[in-house]
Amino acid sequence: MQMVLDYRLRGKLKEIFLVRFAYENWRKPDKLVWELAEAASYETYKKHMTTIYAQFSQADLEGCPDLDLQGKGPGKFNILRDWLKEKKYVEWHQSSLLATNHSLNRFELRSPVNSDSPLYIERAPLEADCYQEILKPGALIRIKAPEKMGKTSLLRKILLYAEGSGSRTVYLNLREAEGAVFSSLDKFLRWFCANVSRELGIQPLLDDYWAEELYGSMISCKTYFQDYLLRNLEGSLTLGLDNVDRVFEYLEIAQDFLPMLRSWHEEAHSQESWQQFRLAIAHATEIYIDIDANQSPFNVGWPVQLTGFNFEQVKTLANAYGLDWTTAADLHNAKLLVDMLAGHPYLVKLALNALVHQEMTLEALLEEAPTQGGIYGDHLRGHWDNLQRQPDLAAAMKQVAMADRGVQLGPTQAYKLDSMGLVKLQGDEVAPSCELYRQYFRARL
C-alpha cells in the first residue's frame, strides 16, 4: 500500500497494480491476470498497465531507472517487479521498522532501553565484566553515572544475565518509594523487605521476624533476609537497587541503611548463607553525607563508572536508526556532535531521532543545539527552571559555565549539580558535563 501512495495510483490503477504485483501472480501471464483484476477488457488492462509503468518511471518520484517505456513484451513487468522486490521493498521494510521501533516520543526516549533493543549499545568489556562479577558469592556491583546515562538499562541487563544463570532476581527502584516511607528507619526497612518479598512472589511475614524494640530494625531486617528469604529460595538472590542516592536525602536512614548493605556483602566472607546474596546498586552522584569509610558500600565491590558514548558507539547507534555516515562531511559533523554532547546517550538519541524523523541536517542541528529553538530547548529549559528555583545553584552553575577551566564549589552545590547531570567532577574541581551546557548557560546566566 505504501507503493500505491508513493506513486500516486488511484482507482482502477491501484486495483490492477495490487493484483498484478501480488506474489501469487508473479508467474502468471497478463492474459490470466486481467480477469483477476476485473478489468473491463484485456485491452483496457494493458492501457492501465502502461500508465502504471509510466508512473514508476518518473524521475521526480525516484522511479525505477531501468524501466524502458519504449520496450516491448513482458520485460517491463520483470524489471519493475525485481526493482520493487530488491530495492523498494527493502527500503520500505527498514523504514517501517524504524518508524515502529525508533520514532520515539520524549517519554520513551527518557525511559531505560530494553536489553534486547537495537538501541542498547554495549560498552565492551563493561557488560562482560559485570556478568562475570555478579556470579561471584556475595557480589557487590556499584554503577555510578549522571542522569539518563544508562544505569538502569545496565542494571537490568545484569539482572537478566543473573536470572539466566539460575539466580532469583529482584529490581527495586527507590524512587518509587513514597516520601512517608522515609519517615523512620524502621518504616523504610519494612517497606524494603516487603517489596523484595512481593517481587519474589513470597508472602511477606514481617511480624514473624521483626523485633524492633528488642533487637532493632537493622537486625530484624537482616534476620528476615537470612532466615526467611534466602532460606526459602533455591539458589542465589540477586538484588538490583536503582537510584540509591534517594536515601542520601534522609541522613538518619542513609547512615544506617548503607552500612547495612556493606555488612551483608562482608558477611559472605564467613557465612555461607550470605554467599547466596548478590547486590548491584546504581546511583547518580557521589555520596556527600558523612559515613565512616569502613562502613560505606561505595568503596568495596566492583565499581562501574558509566561515561558517554565514544564516536564508534554513536556510529553504531546511528546505524540502528538507519543513518549511514560515510561521507567526510558527515563524519566531521558527527564528531562535532559527539564532542558537543560528550557522547551523552540521552542527548545523542534526541539528536538521532531528530535527524531521522524531523529531516534535519547535522549542520542545522549543531547550529541550533544550544538555543531555545533547537531540539534541546525543552530539555535545557527544564534545567534552567530548576536552577531558577535555587539561586545558589544558579550562581554556582554560572561560575562553572563562565570559567575556561574547572572551578571549586562547595560539596553540596557540586553534589546537586552533579546529580542534575550538569557538571562533572574532576578531583576537587567542577566543569560542565558537556559543551552544550557550557554554551547554553554561559549565554543565559
How does pLDDT run along the chain (445 residues), one tens digit per residue? 456 666 777 777 878 888 888 867 777 788 888 777 777 788 888 888 888 888 888 766 677 887 777 766 557 888 888 887 777 665 654 554 444 444 444 445 656 787 677 789 999 999 999 999 999 999 999 999 988 899 999 999 999 999 999 999 999 999 999 999 999 999 999 999 999 999 999 999 999 999 988 899 999 999 999 999 999 999 999 999 999 999 998 999 999 999 999 999 999 999 999 999 999 999 987 666 678 888 889 899 999 999 999 999 999 999 888 888 888 988 999 999 999 999 999 999 999 999 988 778 899 999 999 998 899 999 999 999 989 999 999 999 999 999 999 999 998 899 889 888 899 988 889 999 999 999 999 998 8
Give residue 8's pLDDT. Answer: 72
Which candidate, 388, 408, 390, 392, places its Cα nearest to that of 400?
A: 408
Q: Would you say 430 and 409 are in contact if contact means Cβ atoms under 8 Å apart?
A: yes
Buried-exposed string 2-38: b where 16+ CB fall within 10 A, e elsewhere: ebeeebebeebbbbbbebbbeeebeeeeeeebbeebe
Give residue 165's pLDDT. Answer: 95
Provide DSSP, 122-173: --TTHHHHHHHHHTSTT-EEEEE--TTSSHHHHHHHHHHHHHHTT-EEEEEE
Provide DSSP, 224-260: IIIIIITTTSSS-EEEEEE-GGGGGG-HHHHHHHHHH
Give residue 99's pLDDT. Answer: 45
Which candidate, 273, 167, 294, places its Cα nearest to that of 222?
A: 273
Dihedral sign, Cα of residue 108, residue 111, residue 117, residue 122: positive
Give residue 219's pLDDT. Answer: 97
Query: Which amino acid is residue 312, in one-letter code?
Result: E
Which grid coordinates are listed for 19? 493484483
Helix (H) or strand (E) run with residue 349 in it: helix 345-357
**How many C-beta atoms surround the C-beta of residue 403 within 10 A?**
15
Which grid coordinates are listed for 408? 571549586
59: exposed, middle or buried (Cβ count in 10 Å: 0-12, 13-18, 19+) = exposed
**What 3-state DSSP class applies to 422?**
coil
Which candidate, 407, 254, 428, 435, places its Cα nearest to that of 341?
A: 435
Q: Would you say 188 and 256 are in contact if contact means Cβ atoms under 8 Å apart?
A: no
Give residue 27's pLDDT. Answer: 76
Give residue 109's pLDDT. Answer: 60
